[in-house]
Structure 1
Amino acid sequence: MNNRFKAVLFGVLLVYGLMLSASFILALFVRFDWISTQSLDWLPFLISLTIMLLGGGLSGFRSSEKGWLSGVLVGVIYTVMIMLYQFLAHDVWLHDGQWLHFITFLLASISGGIIGVQLNQRND
């Protein structure tokens, strides 16, 4: 397999794994009343941004060149899969502010990819 393909695959798998874990933990917090749903306005968005940064970073670190491209691929694959899930499972295309969220996730993933390449070059 191509090195970039492997790097992007690992980045996407990391993003989905961390998103599932974070969703499960947040659901447990809400279920056992450790946190109220009213206080969850920005927390899931900030967690998602951090996870996208990490996924892009892993992708850029593993590809060791053109981190922006690896970050774009991770962000686009994540966004397309979420849009497909919404459309196929919930019969909803996009909500009002979701484009802004997806663009922000893409920018976080690109930033992570660039940072990942720089961290990889620093280790050489």
Structure 2
Amino acid sequence: MEHIRRFIPFRIAGPTLSGLWYAYLWMMIGALFLSLLLKWSRFEEDSLSTFTYVVHAISVLAGSFVSGKRSERKGWYQGAITGILYAVLLFVISFLALDSSFKGGDLLYFIPAFLIGATGGIFGKNARKS
């Protein structure tokens, strides 16, 4: 790993921004996996809604874990902010790409993003070496 860091000295310093970066990286990996699953299996797009929620939950958890691990204090707070920003960016992207309208029930998706993000931030902060 040191060899890679020597040639590519790229690191996002802010905990929330780095958490969002990792969250969207995991989301892209999960979307690729689901696309390959659609291509080479008998699944149909209608049956993948549960899997997409799982991919988003894992993405928020991974991103908030990184965010909590890189924070100086209050890992739950950094993780929760990462989860909320992930959900906001996801809604903005879906609004712009799919031309969908924002409904009042869509606010309920922010609650699991907050809770999963806070949990990941707590575990990330506790995984940090003191």
TM norm structure 1 = 0.81
- What is residue 104 of structure 1 aligned with on the other side? 112
**Equivalent-residue separation in structure 1 for 2:97 and 2:44 (angstroms):** 27
- What is residue 55 of structure 1 aligned with on the other side? 63
**Equivalent-residue separation in structure 1 for 2:90 and 2:62 (angstroms):** 18
Listed one character per residue, the Cα deviations across residues 66-119 of structure 1 (whole Å, up to 9, x for unaligned) are 112211221122122112112222221336754333321221011101111112
Structure 2 residue aligned with 1:33, among 41, 49, 53?
41
Shift of 1:41: 4.0
Percent of aligned pairs with the same amino acid: 29
Listed one character per residue, the Cα deviations across residues 48-74 of structure 1 (whole Å, up to 9, x for unaligned) are 212211111110001131112211221
CA RMSD of aligned residues (A): 2.0
2:113 aligned with 1:113: no
TM norm structure 2 = 0.77
| Secondary structure class of the residue paired with 2:14 | helix
| Secondary structure class of the residue paired with 1:42 | helix
Residue type at the aligned position of 1:58: V
Task: Give aligned pairs, total.
Answer: 118
- What is residue 89 of structure 2 aligned with on the other side? 81
- What is residue 23 of structure 2 aligned with on the other side? 15
Shift of 1:8: 0.9
2:78 aligned with 1:70: yes
Structure 1 residue aligned with 2:51, among 18, 43, 59?
43
**Equivalent-residue separation in structure 1 for 2:103 and 2:51 (angstroms):** 19
- Name stretches of at least 5 consecutive residues in structure 2 with no aligned partner: 1-12
- Name stretches of at least 5 consecutive residues in structure 1 with no aligned partner: none
Structure 1 residues 101 and 54: CA distance shift in structure 2, 3 A: same
**Equivalent-residue separation in structure 2 for 1:33 and 1:101 (angstroms):** 29
